[in-house]
Amino acid sequence: MLFAKEMAIDHWDILIEKDIYDALPDTLQEVTSRLNEDWSTVALFGHNPGFTVYANRFTEGFRFDNIPTCGIVRIDSDTSYWTDFVPGHAKVMKWYFPKDCLD
> Total structural domains in the chain?
1
Averaged over 12-26, what is the pLDDT?
89
Q: Residue 82: what pLDDT?
A: 94
Those residues whose C-beta lies under 8 Å from the C-beta of residue 30, and which sit 6 or more positions away, are 19
Q: Residue 53: what pLDDT?
A: 96
Please enumerate, as own/partner, the contacts of 11-18 that have beta carbons within 8 Å and a separation of 24 or more.
Answer: none
pLDDT, tens digit (0-9, with 9 covering 90-100), for 54-76: 999 999 999 999 999 989 999 99
Q: Residue 62: what pLDDT?
A: 93
Model's pTM, two decimal places?
0.85
Range of the domain at 91: 2-101
Q: Residue 103: what pLDDT?
A: 60
- In the chain the first and final C-alpha atoms are separated, in Å, by 26
